[in-house]
A and B are shown apart, each in its own frame.
Chain A
Amino acid sequence: MTGRPEPADAELVLAVVVRDDRHAFARLVQRHQSMVRSVLRRLARGDHGLADDLAQETFLLAWRNIRSFRYDARFSTWLYRIALNAWLSHARKRREVLLDDPDDAPEAPPPDEGIPAADRIDLERALAGLPDGERAAIAACYYADLTHEEAAEALGIPLGTVKTHILRAKVRLRAKLGKEEPR
């Protein structure tokens, strides 16, 4: 027995735009909720409640603005940008967020060889301790699966800054988690 193939994101978006199809939108939410919530958990320093609130806001904004989606882009990238803006908007209400200053945090501590292998809680804690720009770069490139170029465009910072953020973040994470750099 062969089931009907899963419709592509673009087909579901079209169904929402043309027919106001809520089932199609629900499929999109189910398909992308994990990525959006994971990214926001990283951006929100592991605050799952805040991340889920922002994720819900992200999907509501996506529903409202779905006509502005351009079909030549990935739907996940478009969603990531909305999620990032939701987080930035929330964070700016509280304090200034610096995404483009590579020197916005103290130098990384030296690696501690004695730390045991990290589990996920350690990783979450270590990621939460990164400066905003570095955390945003890691969230974009690993959790939203963007290239460095896409991340630079989405974050509105130079490509070199994204690369610097990633490198510095990895130095800090290695130091905290005891992961040795590959030779």
Chain B
Amino acid sequence: MKDPANDPLDRLLLDDARRPLPDDGFSLRVALALPPARRPSPWLRPALVLGSAAIGSAAAWLLAPAGTSLAQGFVDLARFQSQTPSALAAIALALAMAVTAAVLVAEEN
């Protein structure tokens, strides 16, 4: 069947089968008929990241030792006292904000 040398009908069928059909816009019609790409909502990831950061910060504030305050922490850091609970809380908050910002920038790109 695949050797049409001796059979005019085989040759005719194979010639017809191998004749490429011009696209005539068919591929474009298929591309336009494809369902739209499923993209996640643009606000979903930032909301998750910011929400997680906010919940973590609130939990840290609630669980911090009495007398801990961010303002006091920044004052302690300005005095090069980085080992106080307030200073550690300020450092943790700054780190959390930096990580959140980095994630959001990476998502944007």
Contact = CB atoms under 8 A, between A and B. Distances in A.
A56 interface: yes
B34 A22 contact: yes
Given A179-B12, A182-B6, A143 B17 contact: yes
A142 B16 CA distance: 9
A176 B108 CA distance: 66
Max chain A Cβ within 10 angstroms of own Cβ: one of B23, B31, B33: B31
A20 B39 CA distance: 11
Contacts of B109: none
A142 B21 contact: no
Given A29-B31, A142-B14, A177-B9, A52 B26 contact: yes
Main secondary structure of the interface of B (DSSP, over half): helix
Contact of A25 (B6, B8, B34, B38): B34
A177 B15 CA distance: 15
Interface in A138-183: 138, 141-143, 145, 148, 166, 170, 173-174, 177, 179-183
Contacts, number: 74
B16 to A, nearest CB: 6
Contacts of A177: 9, 12
Contacts of B37: 20, 22
A170 B29 CA distance: 35
Contacts of A94: none
A38 B21 contact: yes
A123 interface: yes
Interface residues of A, number: 36
Interface string A113-127: 000001010010000
A2 interface: no
Contacts of B23: 30, 33
A35 to B, nearest CB: 8
A34 B18 CA distance: 9
Interface in A30-67: 30, 33-34, 37-38, 52, 55-56, 59-60, 63-64
Contacts of A55: 26
Contact of A182 (B7, B13, B21, B30): B7
A26 interface: yes
A63 B30 CA distance: 10
B105 interface: no
Contacts of A30: 23, 27
Nearest to B28: A26
A56 B29 contact: yes
Contacts of A38: 17, 19, 21
Contacts of B8: 179-180, 182
3 closest Cβ pairs, A-B complex? A182-B6, A179-B9, A34-B21
